[in-house]
Structure 1
Amino acid sequence: MTMHTGGCHCGNICLTFETELDLSQIEVRACQCSFCVKHGSRAVADPDGRLIISVKDSARLRRYRFGLSTADYLICGECGVYVAAITADDDARAIVIINALDDQKQFNQKPIPADFDAESKAQRQARRRARWMPVEVSFE
């Protein structure tokens, strides 16, 4: 497994993205929803990989939901960095925002614009179960 680490700017949220894929095999997506566009978001996931999120102060973690309310968008309430999105299902899956990774420049593929506005709630949940990765969240 290759590990890509990172987190928010102030250090409250730490990330570890584990994957066996070579970076050239990972699709970088640029969601075209207004939230992601405003954040300049570039996201990746490996359905066979894993994202580990460690939060030092849970009071400084902000979860934002919008649209179909099927995911929590994780933002540090202290420094404002958008780090990941996690499904709101019992079997949580996630994407990691590569702008929050320390080695973000290694993800140099051109992002593929993705527009999911036409998806139903069921379609969105199914896509995320298939394409997003398992996630573990811990609070110190």
Structure 2
Amino acid sequence: MGVHSGGCHCGNIRLNFSTTLDPAELEVRACQCSFCTRHGSRAAADPNGRLAISVTDRERLQTYRFGLRTADYLVCRECGVYVAAVAGEGEDARAIVIVNALDDREQFSRKPIPVRYDAENREQRLARRRSAWMPVEIRGL
């Protein structure tokens, strides 16, 4: 399994994305919601992979919820970098990683697929995330 590390610019939030998939073949999505377009988001997930998130200073982590309020969007308060989104809690938590926050982001070279999720209701959104997002472990919260 390959590990792709990264995090926010100031180093408060660190990421380790583990996957057996070749980053050049991994689907990258460009959500078209107002939050993601403003951040230039390119997101990826491997349902068979794993994301580990480490936070050094919890006070410098901003969690943001909007719309259907089904996920926490993780942004560093210090440097402003959007690193991941997390839905659910504990063993059921699932996440996407923001490719732009990875150190080897250039390896994720597929053209991002524009996606819109506006037509989903709360249940549909949660079901999609359970099946398409990856398990996540968060340390430091």
Number of residue pairs the alignment of both structures matches: 140
Give the secondary structure class of the aligned counterpart of 2:128: helix
Structure 1: distance between partners of 2:2 and 2:88? 27
Q: 1:136 to 1:45 in 2, by over 3 A?
A: same
Give the secondary structure class of the aligned counterpart of 1:125: helix
User: What is the identity, as a one-letter code, of the residue corresponding to 1:75?
Assistant: V
Cα shift at 1:26: 1.3
| Runs of 4+ in structure 1 over 2 Å off | none
- Gaps of at least 5 residues in structure 2 are none
User: What is the identity, as a one-letter code, of the residue corresponding to 1:129?
Assistant: R
Aligned-residue Cα RMSD (Å) equals 1.1
- Gaps of at least 5 residues in structure 1 are none
Give the secondary structure class of the aligned counterpart of 1:52: strand
Q: Superposed, which structure 2 residues align to 1:88-103 within 5 Å?
A: 88-89=88-89, 91-103=92-104
Partner residue, 1:119: 120
Cα shift at 1:25: 3.3
Contact residue 70 and residue 89 of structure 1 kept, 8 A: no
Aligned-residue identity in percent: 66
Contact residue 25 and residue 110 of structure 2 kept, 8 A: no
Deviates more, 1:16-25 or 1:47-56: 16-25
Q: Tell me the alpha carbon deviations over residues 61-105 of structure 1, each in whole angstroms, 9 at most, x when there is no partner.
A: 000000000000000010000000000355110000000000001
Q: Superposed, which structure 2 residues align to 1:18-97 within 5 Å?
A: 18-89=18-89, 91-97=92-98
TM-score, normalised via structure 1 length: 0.97
Structure 1: distance between partners of 2:104 and 2:24? 14
